[in-house]
Every structure is written in C-alpha cells, then in structure tokens.
C-alpha cells in the first residue's frame, strides 16, 4: 500500500469533473484530471471515437508529469460501448500507453464495486438513450450481474447531464429503483453525485453506486489503498473489500 497514491483520471470534455478534486480533498489523495475531447453525444459511433486508443494515449501523455500510480478512463459509456472484450483491450492499451501502470475504466469499476459489496442484483438509472443503456445492461450481464430493471432517460449529451441539479438526480434515482435490486447503479461521469451521495442512498433506501464514485474507488483499489469515508456512500464504508486483482 502506498501512503498517498496518485490516481490519474482521463475525463471526456467538461461536465462534472469537479467531483474529483472534491473527492481528493475528502480522501487526502491526489486525483489529477486530464481532459480529452470529442463530440459529447450519447451515441455509439461518437462514443467509440471518444474511447479510441489514440485519444486515451493522448490523455495518458497529459498525465505523465503527475507520475500517477494508476490511471482510470473516467467514462462509462465510452468503455462499455466496446463490449466486455473490447473494453478489456481498451484498458490494456491504456496501461501500455501510460508506461505499464495499472489501468481501468468506469465500466469495470462498477463491476468491481459490486463484487466488493457482494451484490448481484441491480437496477440501473441511466441518463443515456435506451439503445446505449442496453449496452451497459449487457456489459453487466456478461459480468454475472442480474439487471432486474433499467431505464434510459434519453439525455442526448454529456453537457446536458452535467447541468442536472441534485434534486433532479435524486428524482432520477428514486423513479428508477426496483424493490428486488440490492444496489442501484447511476452511470455517467458527466453527472454530479459525490457531494450528495448519502442523500441519494437515503432517498432510495439502499446502496447506490455512481460513476464518479466508483471511478475514484477503482483507482484507489488498484493502488492498494483502502479508506473508509462514508460521506462517499456505502462503497467507502469500513470493511468493504478493496483488494486488488
């Protein structure tokens, strides 16, 4: 375990990246953010371009001066859109571009976080159009997760998601939970959630995993760093297994 890891974040465009310095200050770690750019449409061709090896290599190059211990591609849709095998290849290439340090993405972060919580049944409250949301559902199912319900809110761009208020996020979560789900998933790193994650969990009455939350957690997990910080939700409570692969 390192005393103060540096989790490098590659973040698409601009929307809710201020969640990361908030988490860094709360956790007492370094989370530098490098931006890459493309059209922010929640549409498959655009998402495939956004998560391309060339763009992620450019993001890794921007982080080089920060000497990160790990690097995480902070984009759910820009990773699961490749499918499980393609997403695995994506992070392997990212690791190589970053000098061989551990790498992951938000999609894998969701899977690892669910394993840490011991949960296998989830509801998904997604901001994306339905066709994109279905790709996330399939990604989870291949990983052995039972998706008991899901929604695609049909928000077309990440920029629009970034403008959602805490009340709107709470309403999205509550309206799309399911009584059979052990955990509610709220993907999309363009959505602000970290400052009111406990409010979301209280609102729905169960653990909630959000994109920026699991991205930070995954980076710390890969760095071998375990910290209880319940302000960031059930996932960050003491006793949750953060063991690395």
How would residue 4 be classed by pLDDT, with cut points 50, 70 and 90?
A: confident
Three-state SS string over 126-174 comes to ECCCHHHHHHHHHHHHHCCCEEEEEEECCCCEHHHHHCCCHHHHHHHHH
- In this prediction, residue 171 carries a pLDDT of 93
Residue/partner pairs of 235-239 with CB below 8 Å, 24 or more apart: 235/113, 235/116, 235/117, 235/207, 235/209
Q: How far is CA 197 from CA 108, 123, 140, 231, in A?
A: 20, 17, 22, 7
3-class secondary structure, 219: helix
- In this prediction, residue 1 carries a pLDDT of 45
Task: Mention every residue, 6+ apart, whose C-beta is less than 8 A from residue 63.
Answer: 8, 10, 32, 34, 71, 98
- In this prediction, residue 42 carries a pLDDT of 86
Whole-number Å distance between alpha carbons of 151 and 144? 19
Contact 59, 36 (CB under 8 A): yes
Longest dimension (CA), the chain: 47
The CATH class for the domain spanning 116-209 reads alpha beta
Can you give the residue ranges of every domain in the chain? 7-108+212-228, 116-209
pTM of the model: 0.94
pLDDT digits (tens, 9 = 90+) for 6-58: 999 999 999 999 999 999 999 999 999 999 998 877 888 899 899 999 999 99
Q: How far is CA 183 from CA 63, 192, 238, in A?
A: 33, 19, 18
The DSSP output letter for 240 is -
Fold match, 7-108+212-228 / 116-209: yes
Contact 202, 178 (CB under 8 A): no
How would residue 244 be classed by pLDDT, with cut points 50, 70 and 90?
A: very low
- In this prediction, residue 157 carries a pLDDT of 87
pLDDT digits (tens, 9 = 90+) for 61-83: 999 999 999 999 999 999 999 99
Buried b (16+ CB within 10 A) or exposed e, 113-152: bbebbebeebbbbbbbbeebbbbbbebbeebebebebbbb
pLDDT digits (tens, 9 = 90+) for 193-243: 999 999 999 999 999 999 999 999 999 999 998 777 899 999 998 656 644
- In this prediction, residue 238 carries a pLDDT of 64
pLDDT digits (tens, 9 = 90+) for 143-174: 999 999 998 888 888 889 999 999 999 999 99
- In this prediction, residue 59 carries a pLDDT of 97
Q: How far is CA 125 from CA 49, 68, 73, 85, in A?
A: 24, 32, 21, 24
- In this prediction, residue 245 carries a pLDDT of 35
CATH architecture of 7-108+212-228: 3-Layer(aba) Sandwich (3.40)
Unique residue bearing structure tokens 């996330």? 136
Whole-number Å distance between alpha carbons of 230 and 120? 22
């Amino acid at each position: 375990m390192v005393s103060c890891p540096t989790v490098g974040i590659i973040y698409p465009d601009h929307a809710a990246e201020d969640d990361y310095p908030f988490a860094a200050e709360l956790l007492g770690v370094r989370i530098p953010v490098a931006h890459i750019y493309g059209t922010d449409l929640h549409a498959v061709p655009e998402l495939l371009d956004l998560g391309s090896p060339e763009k992620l290599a450019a993001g890794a190059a921007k982080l080089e001066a920060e000497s990160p211990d790990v690097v995480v591609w902070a984009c759910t849709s820009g990773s699961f859109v490749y499918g499980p095998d393609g997403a695995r290849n994506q992070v392997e290439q990212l690791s190589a571009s970053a000098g061989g340090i551990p790498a992951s993405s938000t999609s894998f972060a969701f899977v690892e976080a669910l394993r840490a919580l011991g949960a296998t049944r989830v509801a998904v409250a997604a901001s994306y159009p339905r066709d994109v949301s279905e790709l996330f559902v399939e990604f989870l199912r291949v990983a052995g997760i039972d998706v008991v319900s899901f929604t695609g809110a049909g928000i077309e761009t990440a920029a629009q998601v970034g403008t959602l208020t805490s009340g709107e996020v709470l309403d999205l979560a509550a309206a799309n939970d399911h009584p059979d789900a052990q955990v509610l998933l709220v993907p999309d790193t363009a959505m602000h959630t970290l400052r009111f994650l406990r409010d979301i969990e209280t609102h729905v009455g169960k653990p909630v995993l959000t994109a920026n939350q699991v991205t930070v957690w995954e980076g710390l997990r890969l760095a071998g760093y375990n910290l209880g910080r319940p302000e960031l939700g059930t996932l960050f409570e003491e006793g949750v297994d953060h063991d690395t692969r």
